[in-house]
Structure 1
Amino acid sequence: MFAIFKRCCLLSLLVAGLCNSTLSQANADEGMWLFNDLPTEHLKSKYGFEPTEEWSDKLMKSCVRFNVGGSASFVSSNGLVLTNHHVAFDTLSKLSDKDNNYAKDGFLAKSMADELKAPDLELNQLIKITDVTDKVNEAISSDMAPGDAAKARRARIGEIESAAKEESGLRSDVVTLYGGGKYHLYQYKKYTDVRLVWAPEASIAFFGGDADNFEYPRFNLDATIFRVYEDDKPAKIEHFLKWSEDGPAENELVFVAGNPGRTSRIFTTAALKYQRDVRMPYILDFIRRREVLLQQFGLGGPEMERIAKDQLFGFQNSRKAYMGMLQGLQDPAMMANAVAAEQKLLEKVSSTEELKEYASAWEKIADVQKRKAKKQGQGVLINSRMFSIAQELVQMATEDLKPSNERLAEFQDSGRESLEQQLFSSAPIYKELQQAILADEIARMCEIRGADDELCQTVLAGKNPNDRASELIFNSKLDDPEVRQQIAAGGIDAIKNSDDPLIKLAVAVDDKVRADRKDSEELGEIEKQAYAQISQVMFAANGTSVYPDATFTLRLAFGPVIGYEEKGKSIPAFTDINGTFAHEESHSGQKDFDLPESWTSARDKIPGGTRMNFVCTTDIIGGNSGSPVVNKDLELVGLIFDGNIQSLIADYAYTDKQGRSVSVHSNAIRESLRYVYDAEFLADQLGK
């Protein structure tokens, strides 16, 4: 099916631009557009709609970003925030215990006094975007070695962020765009007092389980509502979305405002092949291994199943997503298109005098891919929560001895509050699960590097992986947030004098971790400079009318609500409540298709024709989960929660022939609150 892709990456767009052709209207709806550079001419010419600055500003400020990875929106003047159940799942799990499993059984606060405070959520509302490209590039000279350039760039970015935060009081992040072609300063208002208001049961939020994940038709109520507070009172929100009375009509133009994670559409063919042949198979092996471990851990009993569920859900979701992406990259037609497009572009560059200086960019990127392939899997491969905490404490103590702009990025003053909120979170850490994960991580590292490897011997300390992990986890006190605060407050002396085994291990491997990070930054700097040159080719051809790759920052996508054809069948744009019950009945006996009792008992109450889910052609990717879907009047008509299987290649390419984003219909949320959950008081607050 990939032969029908309009293009495989931005390279083919460059060819079109350099050949003085224009994008066809058939594929111009592709794009994750910057809010300070929207495609207004295209929207006006194709849809007769021209977004005003007031329109885009209101939509921008009605959206928020979850620090755990996901999107959301304000849907009331008194602080209600709407996102997905699966975005909220991490917080629901942290709020749960053996007696109250909110992640599984759902939750409803009957009053504001009953709303549950999340232990470590931070929501970011984008307030302002400023181009700081010149300020960043001033710090770099052409004769700098890559390592020196990376260090200078990091320092300059730190200076910009710190100055902006000090002046405005807002969270201030410099974002790399166009692979290094531009740098924008994004400034956010932070909300850190976030409370759970309502969540449905997991069995309706993830109805159909792994079998239905990334499929369509769907029948999911993948929604959760929080509320933000300021000074211990519900926040007064100026910019929020009204609630649509009827939702979208078929073929209606809709907009998605959210924070797509990372795309790689500017990648050269060498970079795509590295992803296809090295990086993604490596990641998939890790994901499959962790998925099996978590499944096995959960077989130990109901409580062990509960505490592993959040991570298991995430790894199952990632496994299916990465498999879809890899299959797309392995399609010969897609790669052939990418190679042909790149060759045409290089021919044009070599024959255009003012572009010849950029010809070497592709060779530099190809060389970096070879170097990255050799380094794959050679780092300190320990990925567990408690060990990561130890590493943060050890590195923070050392970095705090330096001026802010000379520190590693995550330890600079501009992001310190967010770092500490996560580091000192009161969310529970389960040592039994941590031990299982750490044991497997140590074993995995020994398998890749060889158990006689010096680093492996340091980590093992004369024991097998299981015993070593037990010693490290059960003798550590880093699961206690007060202990973490004490160590952090004590600085470098506390690290030197600590007898915590995880701290000692983090100290022992810190030189290796830092050396690997330095190497990665140097390779990243070479890529940044090369992609910046490719971006200059783009700008010469098209200006900045080409959207940049996603960076987990707020973007706008748009397209019509429309079904598609698959295997000779017409797939309708909408599903409804009647279909939800029919879907359960057609899968009788399959646990993942059992609706919760609240739904079966309310079957005669909720109007059967109420629309449940719908699809549209909007260009989304991971990170867009929880994004509001709005109409021209900025009324919320839906809630993004998935893409179909044909959309999974969207990291690298876009198609609107079959690829679709999948949303919960606004009516499904409102009517289920009224008729299933007896929460009319909450439904009445939506959009007001």
Structure 2
Amino acid sequence: MKKIILSLIAGIMLMPISMKADEGMWFLMFIERLNHRDMQKMGLQLTAEEIYSINNHSLKDAIVQFNGGCTAEIISKDGLVLTNHHCGYDAIAELSTAEKNLLKDGFWAENRKAEIKPSSLFVRFFVRMDDCTKRILAKVNASMTEAEREKAINQEIALIEKENNEGGKYTVSVRPFFQGNEFYYFVYQDYKDVRLVGTPPESLGKFGGDTDNWEWPRHTADFSMFRVYADANGNPADYSENNVPLKPKHYLPVSLSGVKENDFAMILGYPGRTNRWMPAGGIEQNVKFAYPAWVEGAKTGMDNMKKYMNQSDALNLVYASKYASTANYWKNRQGMIDALTKFGTAKSKAAQEAKFDKWANKPENKAKYGNVITNINKFYALTNEKSRHDNYLQQLFRTTAFGTVSRSLGRQLDLYLKADATKRSQMAPAIAEMATDMFKELHIPAEKDILAAQLNVYATKSVGYPIAPLVKKIGDENNNNFTNYVNAAFDLSIFTSVDRIKAFLQLPNEALLTNDPLYALSADMTAHFSNRSEEVIKAQNDYTTAFRLLVEGLRESKIGAIKYPDANSTLRLTYGKVRALPADKRNDATINNYTTLAGQVKKYKKGDQEFDLPTRVLEMQKNKDYGRYADKDGSLHVNFITDNDITGGNSGSPVLNGKGELIGLAFDGNIEAMAGDVIFDKNLQRTINVDIRYVLWVIENFSGAKHIVDEMTLVK
């Protein structure tokens, strides 16, 4: 890996100075003022109104937030939705069984009636946004504590959201930007009847697995397809056989022209979280304390899941989604550690802060900004060890269902105990259903191993901050070997089967719940995790104020050149170009900005969980059976890279050409630029995309589902 990175840097040094990525995740409402002219110079042919309009249909009407965590796009007049395979993974896994394994074998609905509704899935359409900064900041003043400020802001937010939801028709969300120095409200409309239309087999949709994750070159069909349904009037509605496919305000035409170096590329989506203005102390805390604990805790959970996933297809389905999510962030956090360390990001941030501190302590600035850096650094020094502790505990919570059982199912049982007979009769069916759903996603022997292993890691590695009292007691009594305790706790607990939960509902007993060993252990850990000393509470208050003032001061002084707000799961636009990385012998492509089906087949390993391929793909590549989706060079392009500025949440985002036509589907970034959530690297930052022609080839030529392609608008 070191040799690869060095060769990348050496190659980049030879590139023209003008070849730089375009940093920024921009609000659509400001495109005309801030970005439109630059985008036109790069190849955009649309007006700002065609991208974002309140009164007329525009590109924004075809972009949806997918199930709260990804992005997707509408690509037909009948509400066809395209997103990543890994974004649809939960829904596909839920709809799969060992006998009919859609995740493993793939699925294409032969008609609308064959499309399948997952239990819980929604898409969110963006309607409009507006600035409410002045209104909200008028309710606060500098003498308020952070708690008082937050209360005043939340009261005003509630009013704004109520005023704009039109009696519940819309979901309204007011979000802070620039660390609470600006506020905007966003109006959305949610559709909950979303059905699976198709997915390639996992061997294509997840080709390369964890090994290729965050890497370039890539060769994966990371896509899946759904459809939005509405009532007869086009309004959101709960699932019904009478619902009809949504007629969207706008849908994306699909380009068959392909891409080449320096082609304009625009991405619209919902980036989840960046921390571009994070102080040096925060970066140092993540690199040395938080992320190493995250990585180790995640790996502990993954290893113990994998033991059981390898035993059968049925067990693999139980943990497939949780494992994939854990593995994704496990590799991401290790990449962050490596990248932030390599590029000395904390050191460069510290230099900027020293410059800011000098400005802040000038007589005219001192009263407002003088203590900003001091209070920020004090907070991180106080919480470094706690951040390590919290990340070990968070990975325990994320990888076993029993870490937080006291706050999920246990909380419901506690409320049940306190309810009267009438209320209990109403609650019992919902609690039983909750328990049934919980046990669909766990396997008791695996949960025992995961919990015991995570407790050991937590108790032995979180050494600089006190661990949860009950965990310490058990560890001290058992030399930090938690296996016997966990086995005994599972034998005695009411939380280890649906039947036991139902029995408790029949004969509720407060002592039985309070003394339940898994409930007590979970309650101990979750309470300890949430507990903060008065010293930490004060430091947190001072830090929150200081960080807000740091961002305000950096903008005022122009030291930080802050031009756009951090990502926070609101709709943004990023633009750049198709842009190659230096030549890489692992890629057979003529220029290292795309990959081919031939390259995918070269990675093929028969029977390998990550690199196996369907026999039909091997045959089609041998015969060069690419149909109408072959590139001008005669090959079938699979993935390509651009230099757009994206992050998690952009998964599934459409990659558009200058005409607003779909050319690809964003799904990943490159590990060399993994520090991108904190600092944008103009040389190394890349977005990895599925070529839309490969998507269509998989649907039509490989899978024989041409009827789905036929409902799209294809542009040659």
Cross-structure match for 1:235: 246
Q: Which residue is equivalent to 1:593?
A: 611
Aligned equivalent of 1:573: 593
The more displaced of 248-257 and 383-392 is 383-392
Alignment correspondent of 2:469 = 454
Cα separation, 2, equivalents of 1:496 and 1:680: 61
Instruction: Work out the CA distance in 2 between the residues paired with 1:518 and 1:246.
Output: 62
**CA separation in 2, counterparts of 1:351 and 1:618?**
39
One-letter code aligned to 2:203: S
SS at match of 1:179: coil
- Paired with 1:4 and 1:476, the residues of 2 have a C-alpha distance of 56
Please tell me the residue identity of whatever aligns with 1:35: L
Over 3 Å counting, the alpha-carbon distance change for 1:115 and 1:87 in structure 2 is: same
Check if 1:437 corresponds to 2:437: no
Q: Which moved more, 1:248-257 or 1:633-642?
A: 248-257
Give deviations 1:384-410, integer Å, cap 9, x for gaps.
Answer: 33554541466689999xxxxxxxxxx
SS of the equivalent of 1:330 reads helix
- CA deviations 1:536-557 (Å, max 9, x no partner) are 2244356997111111222111
The 3-state SS of whatever aligns with 1:328 is: helix
Partner Cα separation in structure 2 for residue 4 and residue 283 of structure 1: 28
Counterpart in the other structure of 1:259 = 270
The residue correspondences of 1:291-440 to structure 2 (distance < 5 A) are 291-331=302-342, 333-351=344-362, 353-354=364-365, 357-378=368-389, 382-383=396-397, 384-388=400-404, 390-392=406-408, 428-432=440-444, 433-440=446-453
Per mean C-alpha deviation after superposition, the further-off stretch among 293-302 and 233-242 is 293-302
Q: CA deviation at 1:165?
A: 4.0
Q: CA deviation at 1:664?
A: 0.5
- Cα separation, partners in 2 of 1:653 and 1:399, compared to 1, 3 Å: farther
Instruction: Report the Cα offset of residue 578 of structure 1.
Output: 3.4
Check the 8 A contact 1:178/1:549 in 2, yes or no. yes
Partner of 1:417: none
| 1:264-283 alignment, distance < 5 Å | 264-283=275-294
Of 556, 572, 582, the match for 1:555: 572
CA displacement at 1:373 relative to structure 2: 1.3
Helix, strand or coil for the counterpart of 2:531?
helix
Post-superposition shift, 1:38?
2.9
Give CA deviations for 1:341-388 in whole Å, capped at 9, x if unaligned: 333333344448357622322222111112221423556655133554
Q: 1:652 aligns with which of 678, 688, 695?
A: 678
- The answer (yes or no) to whether the contact 2:265–2:576 under 8 Å persists in 1 is yes
DSSP-derived class of the 1:44 partner: helix
Judged with a 3 Å threshold, the aligned counterparts in structure 2 of structure 1 residues 176 and 437 are, in CA distance, closer, same or farther, namely farther
1:121 matched residue in structure 2 = 121
Shift of 1:340: 2.8
CA distance 1:371–1:161, shift in 2 (3 Å): farther
What residue is the counterpart of 2:420 in the other structure?
A: none
CA distance in 1, matches of 2:487, 2:103: 28
Query: Which residue in the other structure is 2:81 paired with?
Result: 81
Residue 29 (str. 1) matches residue 41 (str. 2) = no
The alpha carbon displacement at 1:30 in A equals 0.6
Between structure 1 and structure 2, the one with the greater Rg is: 2
Structure 2 residue 528 is matched with structure 1 residue 535: no
Indicate how the Cα distance of structure 1 residues 422 and 103 shifts in structure 2: closer, same or farther if over 3 A, else same: farther
Q: Mark the CA change 1:91 to 1:530 in structure 2 (over 3 Å): closer, same or farther.
A: same
Kept after mapping to 2: 8 A contact 1:439/1:466: yes
Deviation at 1:510, TM superposition (A): 6.2
CA distance in 1, matches of 2:187, 2:405: 27
CA contact (8 A) 1:626 1:641 kept: yes
* Residues 132 and 524 of structure 1, relative CA distance in 2, 3 Å threshold: farther
- Once the two structures are overlaid, the 10-residue window that deviates more, 59-68 or 660-669, is 59-68
Give me the whole-angstrom Cα distance separating, in 2, the residues matched to 1:75 and 1:680. Answer: 15
The worse-fitting range, judged by mean Cα deviation, of 539-548 and 206-215 is: 539-548
Number of corresponding residues: 644
Q: What's the secondary structure of 1:217's corresponding residue?
A: coil
The answer to which of 83-92 and 383-392 deviates more is 383-392
- Matched to 1:455, the amino acid is L
User: Contact (CA 8 Å) 1:269, 1:339: kept in 2 or not?
Assistant: yes
Shift of 1:505: 5.6
Identity %: 24
Residue 423 of structure 2 is matched in structure 1 by none
Q: Give runs of aligned pairs for residues 163-312 of structure 1, distance below 5 A.
A: 164-165=164-165, 167-230=167-230, 231=237, 232=240, 233=243, 234-312=245-323
Check 1:395–1:527 CA distance in 2 against 1; reply closer, same or farther (3 A cut): farther
Local SS of the residue matching 1:121: coil
* Partners of 1:687 and 1:281 in 2: CA distance: 47
Q: In structure 1, how many angstroms separate the alpha carbons of the residues matched to 2:279 and 2:22? A: 23
Gaps of 5+ in 1: 6-23, 401-420, 488-492
CA contact (8 A) 2:23 2:645 kept: yes
Deviates most, 678-687 or 201-210: 201-210
**Superposition TM-score, scaled by structure 2 size:** 0.79
* Superposed CA RMSD: 4.0
What SS does the corresponding residue of 1:308 show, helix, strand or coil?
Answer: helix
TM-superposed deviation, 1:56: 2.5
Q: Structure 1 residue 668: deviation in Å?
A: 0.8
Residue 50 of structure 2 corresponds to 54
Distance of aligned partners of 1:399 and 1:343 in 2 relative to their CA distance in 1, 3 Å threshold: farther
List per-residue Cα deviations over 1:127-174 (Å, max 9, x = no partner): 222323344444544333444444554555455445544645322223
SS in 2 for 1:329: helix
**Which amino acid in structure 2 is aligned with residue 430 of structure 1?**
L
Equivalent residue letter for 2:582: E
Task: Give the equivalent residue in structure 2 for 1:682.
Answer: 708
Change (3 A) 1:121 1:226: same
What is aligned with 1:671? 697
Indicate the residue corresponding to 2:652 in structure 1: 626
Post-superposition CA distance 1:312-354 (Å, at most 9, x none): 2223322222121111221264444333333333334444835
Change in CA separation of 1:40 and 1:141 when aligned onto 2, cut-off 3 Å: closer
Instruction: Give the aligned residue type for 2:651.
Output: S
Q: How far did 1:646 drift? A: 2.0
Mapped contact 1:561–1:573 kept (Cα < 8 A): yes
**Mean CA deviation greater in 121-130 or 348-357:** 348-357
Aligned residue for 1:564, secondary structure, equals coil
Judged with a 3 Å threshold, the aligned counterparts in structure 2 of structure 1 residues 572 and 28 are, in CA distance, closer, same or farther, namely: closer
- How many angstroms apart in 1 are the aligned matches of 2:686 and 2:483? 44
Give the whole-Å Cα distance in 2 for the aligned partners of 1:148 and 1:506. Answer: 32
Q: How many angstroms does 1:678 deviate by?
A: 0.5
CA distance in 1, matches of 2:437, 2:160: 28
| Aligned equivalents of 2:268, 2:671: Cα separation in 1 | 22
1:664 aligned partner, one-letter code: V
SS in 2 for 1:117: coil
Mapped partners of 1:625, 1:142: distance in 2: 39
